[in-house]
Each structure stands twice: as structure tokens, then as C-alpha cells.
């Protein structure tokens, strides 16, 4: 009668034997099975202004889930103003307006 190894032990044995045959296991994903990975740079979308809160002289904007104030960094620039429906950002001397979702 031939003894069978439990599946987890057989998989571990297979992984170790592959490494022992000269293939480096460091940094290798065992679930890709020879698939080559390609890293693709994705273009970042514009910041999403979700909400603007104005209370007296305090102005806040919720952008991509984070509370932002005038002077905070955003999209490679600095927030210069928060209005009723938009956030103004100065980026390298250029003024960029990001409107709240659904604003005209």
C-alpha cells in the first residue's frame, strides 16, 4: 500500500523542491505560475470635492474623504480659497478650480 501525503504537505513539498532546483523563491508569487507582471503607471484622477462646510469665518472642504483647509496641500499645489461650491488651488502659479460634485 502506498502512503499519500496530505494536500498541504504535498504543496509545501512541491514548492520546496522547485526552489531547490535552482529557481529562486524570493519575491515570487506562488500563484502566478509563470505569468509575467507588468507595472503600469496610472494617471491620477482629479481630487473629488465631496462637501464644503462654512461656519462663520471657518471654511473646510472634504476632499477624497479628508478634511482640508486653506493653505493645505492638494494635487501638487496649495489650496488658496474655499468658496460655496469650489476649491481653488495654486499649482506652480496656475489657479485651478475643483468644483463640488454636482455643482454647476
Number of folded domains that form the chain: 1
For the segment 9-44, what is each residue's pLDDT rounded down to a tens digit?
666 666 665 544 445 556 666 666 666 666 766 666
> In the prediction, which pLDDT does 60 show?
95
Does a structural domain hold residue 10?
no
6 within some domain: no
* More confident position, 22 or 88: 88
* Mean pLDDT confidence for 59-77: 94
Instruction: Kindly state whether residue 80 falls inside one of the protein's structural domains.
Output: yes
Query: For residues 79 and 90, what is the distance between their CA atoms, to the nearest angstrom?
Result: 6
Taking alpha carbons only, the member of 40, 16, 41 closest to residue 30 is 16
85: in domain: yes
Q: Is residue 84 part of a domain?
A: yes
Q: Which residues pair with 55 in a beta bridge?
A: 58
The pLDDT value given to residue 2: 60
- Domain extent at residue 94: 49-99
Q: Does residue 19 lie within any of the structural domains? A: no
Amino acid at each position: 500500500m502506498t502512503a499519500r501525503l496530505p494536500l498541504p504537505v504535498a504543496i509545501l513539498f512541491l514548492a520546496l523542491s522547485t526552489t531547490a532546483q535552482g529557481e529562486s523563491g524570493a519575491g515570487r508569487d506562488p500563484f502566478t505560475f509563470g505569468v509575467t507582471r507588468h507595472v503600469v503607471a496610472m494617471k491620477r484622477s482629479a481630487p473629488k470635492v465631496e462637501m464644503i462646510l462654512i461656519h462663520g469665518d471657518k471654511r473646510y472642504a472634504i476632499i477624497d474623504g479628508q478634511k482640508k483647509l486653506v493653505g493645505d496641500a492638494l494635487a501638487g499645489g496649495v489650496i488658496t480659497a474655499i468658496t460655496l461650491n469650489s476649491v481653488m488651488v495654486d499649482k506652480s502659479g496656475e489657479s485651478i478650480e475643483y468644483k463640488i460634485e454636482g455643482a454647476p
